[in-house]
Structure 1
Amino acid sequence: MGRRKDDPAVQKAKGFPGRREKQTEAALKAQAASPTAEEQLLASMDIAGLRPPDRFARKEFKEERDVWMAIAPRLKQTLRASAEFQAPLVAYCDAVARYNRSVLALRREGYVVKVKTVSGDEMPRTNPNEKIRAQALNEILALSGRFGFTPSDNFALLIDQRRVLERGAGGGQGDLGLYDPPAPGETPAGATDPVGGMDRFDSPPPGSLPN
């Protein structure tokens, strides 16, 4: 079995052994031009211009990344995926991941922990992770309402979407240019019927309690 060739950067650092300077420089240029693994991962998570932050490509953000990939495609299906939604969606992913981590910590450590007092004694106290869990849950519920992840909020958003689409199609209050007017009883080509798409949201939102 032959010896494994050094990485081009290592070859350059060694002074181009074997007189392969041109080949090594060409390989370095090719490496610089090709996307990194993190860049490829982020590109695969780009949903209709809705792109996660760079940190989501790191291994310690796998939970946040999983929530993103469960949510973003569903937002695209109901015409809610666009770049301006990045910040609240990132906050939702962070909150779900934080919630799950705090629940796991509570199961591992218990809801009540003993802490030392000034006198050196121990007193029972509520685990700090309970406060983190409660705060994360409040954030999840608030953002769920914004995105329509609860049944009632989802229905209200879909109704509002239909009204906007109908105004755009009919031009009654200014042509929004969302799509061309459909024939009677016909769904516009390339458009998603938001109310008819409610069955895509019949499952609970991601970020369920860990087992």
Structure 2
Amino acid sequence: MISGVINSSQSNPFLLSGFYASNSFDERFTLWDDLVKVNPGNSMPWLVVGDFNCCRFHSDKIGGNAVPTSRMATFNNFIFETNLLELPSSGLFHTWNNMRTDNPIHLRLDRMLDNEAWVSSFLNSCYKVANSSISNHTPLILKPVTDMRSSPRFMFKNFWCQIFEFWSIFIPIFEAPVQGNPIISLY
């Protein structure tokens, strides 16, 4: 792991932690502990980037054997303990594949996580999962805030409920199955 404070004349300083997690389940505990130690809390924006070498959800893997829930639980516990959030992403969903045509396996191993101070400082930031033709991992590209177009805030207007067609349009939207990050269901 490499962690350091990035100072820029164009933004507030932030802590960046980059790493490659071990393939060993037991050795990843050391990395989680090291990341907990460098966690600035919400005193400074923090971006955690790397190959976590584990999944958060069963939907993060296609092909091969299912990932045991206990393996995902330690990673999710680390995220919960450090109050990290997953930075929104676009592009490909899976970030690793075994590059085989017979029995292909696709996983979401690489991620960018951030804290609440990051969200406050870099409100519209996100990353792109790009294509890769030379590696079984895909590159993650942090999108500068200046590239983002801020969307207007959604405001519900009570008078909409009085419009006859409103409910026939509104209800099917919420009945549609949710795709993507499971937190969308909560929202």
Task: Bin the TM-score by the shorter chain.
Answer: under 0.3
TM-score, structure 1 length as denominator? 0.22
The answer to which structure has the higher helix fraction is: 1
The answer to which structure has the higher strand fraction is: 2
